[in-house]
Amino acid sequence: MIGFDFDYYKPNSIEEAQKAYKDLKSQGKVAIYYSGGTEIISKARVNQIHFDAIIDIKGIPECSIYGFKEDKLIIGAATTLTQISDSAFFPLLSQSCRNTADHTARDKITIGGNICGKIIYKEPLLPLLLSDGEAVISDGEGVKSVPLTQIFDKELQLEEGEFLIQITINKEYIFLPYINIKKTKQGKVDYPLVTVASIKKDNKIRIAFSGLCSYPFRLYEIEDNQNNINNEIKIEFNNIMDFLPSPIMEDILGTAEYRKFVTRNTLDEALEKLGGVLC
Amino acid sequence: MCVYTNHPYVTSFRGFGHLEYTIAIERTMDKLAHALGIDPIELRLKNAIIPGDTTPTQVELTRSNIGNLPECIGRLKDVMNWEEGQRIDIGNNKVRAKGIACFWKTSSTPPDAASGAVITFSPDGCANLSIGAVELGQGSKTTLAQILAEKLRLDISRINVSIDVNTQDNLEHWKTVASSTTYMVGNAVIAAAEDVIEQIKAISSIVLRCEAKDIEIADGKAFLKNNPKKYIDITEVIHGYRYPNGNSIGGQIIGRGSFIMRHLSGMDKETGKGTPGPLWTIGAQGIEVEFDTKEYTYEVVKANSAIDAGKIINPMAAKGVTMGGMAMGLSIASSEAFIYNDMGVILNPNLRTYKSIRFGEEPEYLVEFIETPEGDGPYGARGLGEHGLVGIPGALLNSLSIAAQADLNRLPLTPETIWRTKTGETI
């Protein structure tokens, strides 16, 4: 049970949502945007967050689009992970979503909620980072489009009052060779010890990680530090370790040393699938 | 002295104590077998406890109270196809490995643990059974209904067992623990049924003008043994028999039965002698894993049990209860544990982070029963409940120690635990 009262808004357009937020703010109320709700409900139940109102974006048509438009795949922020994992639009993304949480939770979790939430894993984000996705954002007055690679740093850098409407991906990315491997502490359903997502574009291998450090990231540095010899891409494991943006995580899922061991095996497997070699 | 801590309080959980010491014994057995160069099954067969032996607390064992452990081990050996080898390389860094463990468990009840049962009848001749055992999914009320149906020779659809237990109205049952409901309450039910039969026979013999011993009861009728056509429907006697002229005899038939543990004793402080339970249920369990020698991950492929539980009264329920125990054993052994930080705070306080195995992670289960009758048990049944769990953690440790060629003695058995043992990393 959520132990406090709050108001519920379900706007039918971006403008209505923006207005609701402004109005609530002017009344001194704390409003948060709401999509699948799994994280907000879990945290509210144990009093880890408090709000006066939630603004549900699921009634906004732009947030619920999921499909191709011209040369782009449009993924509305309110698309559930189940919808994505059951579809074949972007195989890498479908697999990432399928590897996240369990089926019951995926029916509720939306991709926008997952990316904007406090959860540190955000596995569905990895394919979007690798494929140079664009974030379409409501900025309070209008709508703007920003490359994910710019606006995502540890978390999605949204200003107050902003919310994510869509992610768009250029069609060319969805046909690229890819691999997605998730390793857990033990069971099939758990947060990752490490998840490696990888694609090959223009004869270069791009790699993104979740679970390895305390936030998901694409390791850009390694894209300029690989040797292509006779179409075999060589990547040094020690280079990857040196380029990590922060120390390897150490928590109840595994020690840093063990994560490193698992990461090495996982990268080995991933690179082999993409015509690379880990050395 | 009492000390408050921020650790959670603990309480008993299925098979408590047994699985822990069984791990120590069964790992030792495997290490001894390895050191002696003997097959682990052979070593266990040579050392299996048998009639004529005494327990550590000096109870003399008979075929009735100890059953047949060598037969359990033999059956397990067959169903696990032991002869094909304990560790088989199947390529791609994968091996299949098998490990086993034996177990035994008695009730460890207080010496005066007792159960009661009362049987009454509805006007339509259905029997109502009131007992104190709590139904928690183990199906013992079905088993008890079967026992009563068998004894009264009445169709099971005509037996009603009180499901809810209210201590004000229902009979006493010491506790629904110790894998002893069928044994204890079953005996009380048989006694109550015998009481009912005697009363029905007494009234019927007056009506049928014969001796009580001439009468048999079946299918809701009391009839003459030598001439079943001469009978009276029990609905005419269970609430008193009324003659055509209105005169009546008898009254409500109420069957009363009780059971108390026999010949148990506390443990002598000086000698350690004592009888902690009336019988042992024993068995052998085996686990087959598929282990990745590169990543130290594994999957439990098969889990097997061969248990001497005496007469199995409800085969499906017995199998289900045993499989459930095995699943719990695997979950405890492979993933369940509280994790504390330096301050003693639990880091996995909910089921999102305290992981138990999921339905999709269950192996193939195989449960075999050996049915050596227990002299005092209802129809020869032994206790059966917690047993499925007891040997599983030891068997998993043994199978993975063989698979990883490492001395694994720590739970939960996560791939990281195995990796640390293999690479010598300290924990």
Residue of A nearest to B418 (CA): A258
Given an 8 Å threshold on Cβ–Cβ distance, is B335 in contact with A189? no
Q: Are A265 and B334 in contact (CB < 8 Å)?
A: no
| B chain contacts of residue A185, beta-carbon cutoff 8 Å | 335, 355, 414-416
- pLDDT at site B427: 45
Q: In whole angstroms, what is the distance from residue B157 CA to residue B149 CA?
A: 9
For residue A257, is pLDDT > 80?
A: yes
Which A residues in the span 161-190 are in contact with B, Cβ-Cβ below 8 Å?
A: 185-190
d(CA B305, CA B98): 13
Selected for mutation to probe chain B from A42, A185, A258 (highest B CB count within 10 Å) is A258
Give residue-wise pLDDT tens across range B349-382: 989 899 999 998 999 999 999 999 999 999 999 9
Q: Do B361 and A187 touch (CB under 8 A)?
A: yes
Residue A274 pLDDT > 80, yes or no? Answer: yes
ipTM for the whole complex: 0.92
Q: pLDDT tens-digit profile of A158-190?
A: 999 999 999 999 999 999 999 999 999 998 899
Spatial distance between the Cα atoms of B142 and A76, rounded to a whole number of angstroms? 54
* Residues in chain B closer than 8 A to A251 (CB atoms): 347
Question: Tokens at residue B56, please?
Answer: 């550590």
| pTM (2 d.p.) | 0.93
CB contact under 8 A, A258 and B416: yes
Contacts of B419 in chain A (CB under 8 A): 258, 261
Question: pLDDT tens across B263-305, in order?
Answer: 999 999 999 999 999 999 999 999 999 999 999 999 999 999 9
Is the Cβ of A252 closer than 8 Å to some Cβ of chain B? yes
Chain A contact set for B337 (CB, 8 A): none
pLDDT tens string A127-139: 999 999 999 999 9
Residues on chain B touching A189 (C-beta within 8 angstroms): 358
Q: Which site among B295, B300, B330 would you substitute to test the A interface, given the most A Cβ atoms closer than 10 Å to its Cβ?
A: B295
A143-147 and A134-138 as β-strands: parallel, antiparallel, unpaired?
A: antiparallel
Contact between chains at B295 and A265 (C-beta distance less than 8 A): yes
Q: How far is A192 from chain B (nearest CA, A)?
A: 12
Distances (CA, A) of B73 to B43, B285, B286, B304, B414: 11, 8, 10, 11, 28
Q: Do B335 and A265 touch (CB under 8 A)?
A: no
What pLDDT does residue B210 have?
97
> A77: Cβ–Cβ under 8 A, 6 or more apart, which residues?
A35, A57, A63, A110, A111, A112, A113, A115, A116, A163, A164, A165, A166, A167
Alpha carbon of A231: minimum distance to chain B alpha carbons (Å)? 25
